[in-house]
Amino acid sequence: MQIGFFDSGIGGITVLHKAIKLIPNEDYLYYADTLHAPYGEKSKEYVKDLVFHAVEFMTSKGLKALVIACNTATSAAIGDLRCKYDFPVIGMEPAVKPAVELMGNSNKRVLVFATELSLKEDKFQDLVKKVDHRHIVDYIPLPKLVRFAEGFQFDSPKVQEYLESILSGINMMNYGAVVLGCTHYPFFKDLFARLLPKDILIVDGNLGTVKNLKRILTQNNNKPEGTGQIDFYQSGVKIEDMDVVRRYYGLMERLDRMDNEKQAEV
């Protein structure tokens, strides 16, 4: 049986990449709902319908666990998914808590970047209320960044211009940590590192999510039974085009290159 990873597009590959490193002896099914990406600009109910349709298809292939590798989809559907399915369902959560803890008693603030839907959902608002006792968390959506990622525009001048226009309105000297609260955003870690002050920590929760997955599998006595094989699907259709498969593996190679940079993973 496989471990399923679901995202609206390619963002979940940033989480799958960590899983392959930490849990190599498993087989994986990666489902990208590319026909309906991006999710962050859609209504909660529509996103929930899309997620349930995709997960129903994924379960037909046989899953031992499922990672909703999309913050927006997690916000919209994670509770209902856990009620319906008896295998472990692991969701994403912006790494607000560890970012706040990293600030300690300093006078620095935390800035969260995520999609519009994720930021306005109760799940995110409740998280901030729970962990932000000193009221140091601010947040702002970066909707275009998902579209840039889905277009494989990682190094385009347009991306830099977009981020510069957003950051120009923010006094980044007030911040000690930036949280990448969408799984698409780590593809741009190198660009964030160039544009942000050098002492700002760039935090994402991908590694923490995978550690949680591994812990749950161990608790459930699920022993590794694979070879690291990945089956890729796009909106219910298995990807047989090797050029597309190589492009997906190329995304993981990009993440490998950025792993050498000093960023905070939690």
- Which H or E element spans position 90? strand 89-90
Q: Write out the E strands in 91-241.
A: 109-114, 137-141, 175-180, 201-204, 230-234, 237-238
83 is catalytic: no
In Å, how far are 113, 124, 145, 151 from 166, measured between CA atoms?
Answer: 11, 21, 11, 20
Question: Quick one: which of 184, 178, 75, 51 has its CA closest to 127?
Answer: 75
Catalytic residue from among 179, 182, 203, 217? 182
182 is catalytic: yes
Catalytic residue from among 67, 70, 76, 114? 70
Query: Exposed, middle or buried, 176 (CB in 10 Å: 0-12/13-18/19+)?
Result: buried
Report the SS3 class of residue 234. strand
Give me the active site residues, please.
Answer: 70, 182
